[in-house]
Amino acid sequence: MSEPLIIEPEQPADSCVIWLHGLGADRFDFLPVAEALQESLKTTRFVLPQAPTRPVTVNGGYEMPSWYDIKAMSPARAIDREQLEGSAQRILSLIEGQRDGGIDPARIFLAGFSQGGAVVLHTAFLRWQGPLGGVLALSTYAPTFSDEMNLSASQQRIPVYCLHGSHDEVVHNPMGRTAYEQLKAHGVTATWQEYPMGHEVLPQEISDIGVWLGDRLR
């Protein structure tokens, strides 16, 4: 299994963003984004893990980097829950590694695009027990959320920035909106930001993320 790509800041790190790529991408996918954000976040380390390569059912069984198998697309995503749990466990280990290396968990952020976002939402709100700086949910959904989930007080204090394209043809906008509304219903401070785009990332979106992170790392 590939080691995460680690991008150290100019100055000694006192914060960290663990950023997961989407289905079929790799750990280098968000390297330019991390480097751009570090221009203003000069003490923030970025950790970019790599998903394992495995067959993806909805793509004809073709092997590609995937945090979990997607067995069917509709009416709702049918996923391999065990594989998602394995990916979440890897992220928990990365959080603990940063914490044990001296980074306050309240200054550790989880970010994920598409499938990666589903993993970080699951990790932050259904697995991690303790403070976190926040969650960036880009063009994603929450296949493991439900109306019955029970969040702890520390989980409710984790802020979330949900960013989604209004024309997303892969993870349809209402799927992202549902995750946002479930977080709000369970007492989480979540913000919804929409862009006139498809399943992608725009420069304005990265600029907005930089502002959001900066506000929480003062």
Known catalytic residue at 168 = yes
**Cβ 4 vs Cβ 94: under 8 Å:** yes
**Cβ 121 vs Cβ 108: under 8 Å:** no
pLDDT for the residue numbered 218: 87
User: Three-state SS for 149?
Assistant: coil
Report angle CA 187, 188, 192 to the nearest 5 degrees: 125
Known catalytic residue at 172 = no
pLDDT for the residue numbered 169: 94
- 206 part of a folded domain: yes
- 74 part of a folded domain: no
pLDDT for the residue numbered 190: 97
List 26, 154, 199, 208, catalytic entry: 199
Whole-number Å distance between alpha carbons of 191 and 134:
11
Q: Per the structure, how many domains does the chain have?
A: 1
Beta carbons within 8 Å of 164's beta carbon, 6+ residues apart? 138, 139, 140, 171, 173, 176, 177, 192, 193, 194, 195
**Cβ 21 vs Cβ 116: under 8 Å:** yes
The tens digit of pLDDT for each residue in 118-155 reads 999 999 999 999 999 999 999 999 999 988 899 999 99
Structural domain range at position 134: 5-52+81-216
pLDDT for the residue numbered 2: 80
pLDDT for the residue numbered 75: 62
**Cβ 152 vs Cβ 215: under 8 Å:** no
CATH number at residue 186: 3.40.50.1820
- 17 part of a folded domain: yes
Two structure tokens written together for 169: 């043809």
Known catalytic residue at 114 = yes
pLDDT range class, residue 203, cuts 50, 70, 90: very high
pLDDT for the residue numbered 1: 62
- 58 part of a folded domain: no
- 198 part of a folded domain: yes
In this prediction the pTM is 0.96
Closest by CA position to 107, among listed 117, 119, 116, 95: 95
Task: Calculate mean pLDDT across residues 183-195.
Answer: 96
List 114, 122, 139, 164, catalytic entry: 114
- 152 part of a folded domain: yes
The pLDDT mean for the chain works out to: 95
pLDDT for the residue numbered 72: 87
Whole-number Å distance between alpha carbons of 58 and 98:
35
Phi/psi of residue 174, nearest 5 degrees: -60, -25
- 130 part of a folded domain: yes
From residue 117, give the alpha-carbon distance in Å to each of 20, 23, 142. 7, 10, 8
Cis, peptide link before residue 75, omega less than 30° from 0: yes
Task: Calculate mean pLDDT across residues 193-204.
Answer: 96
- 64 part of a folded domain: no
Say yes or no to pLDDT of 74 above 90. no
